Amino acid sequence: MRLRTQSDQVLAATVGAHLQTLRLKRNISLEAVAENAAISRQTLHLLLNQGKGTLINLIAVLRALGELERLSSLLEEVRPSPLQVIRMEGKKRRRASGSRITSDKAKAVVIHSSKHRNCDW
């Protein structure tokens, strides 16, 4: 199935139809799923037949059907692609750079500090 070519409504209806298939496969009544998900039968009906509902209701229904692991891919940490890792390789800090001073300023600092060493405070 090409997800990008499908409208949101079609995708939602497809998810609802798949949930309905899972429910029937497990031989669980609408009432039992609705009760276990703590939602009304009407809300479950809308989710299953029209793909209408909230994310909270979807999670509750998946939990009631014993299919919560289907959300696992959405809950994984988003990691950079290998190409992004390669691009970022040159940008990692390897050491602290400190403040950069020009050679004239460096000579002036050395001369200034050597004058202070001979002073009696």
* Domain membership flag for residue 29: yes
* Domain membership flag for residue 26: yes
Counted domains in the chain: 1
3-state secondary structure labels for all residues of the chain: CCCCCCCHHHHHHHHHHHHHHHHHHCCCCHHHHHHHHCCCHHHHHHHHHHCCCCHHHHHHHHHHHCCHHHHHHHHCCCCCCHHHHHHHHCCCCCCCCCCCCCHHHHHHHHHHHHHHHCCCC
CATH of the domain at 46: 1.10.260.40
Q: Which of 29-33, 37-41, 83-87, 111-115 has the lowest mean pLDDT?
A: 111-115
In tens, the pLDDT along 67-106 reads: 999 888 888 887 877 887 777 776 665 666 776 665 565 5
* Domain membership flag for residue 86: no
User: Model-level pTM?
Assistant: 0.61
* Domain membership flag for residue 43: yes
Domain carrying residue 59: 8-68
* Domain membership flag for residue 30: yes
* Domain membership flag for residue 81: no
Using pLDDT thresholds of 50, 70 and 90, give the confidence band for residue 107. low
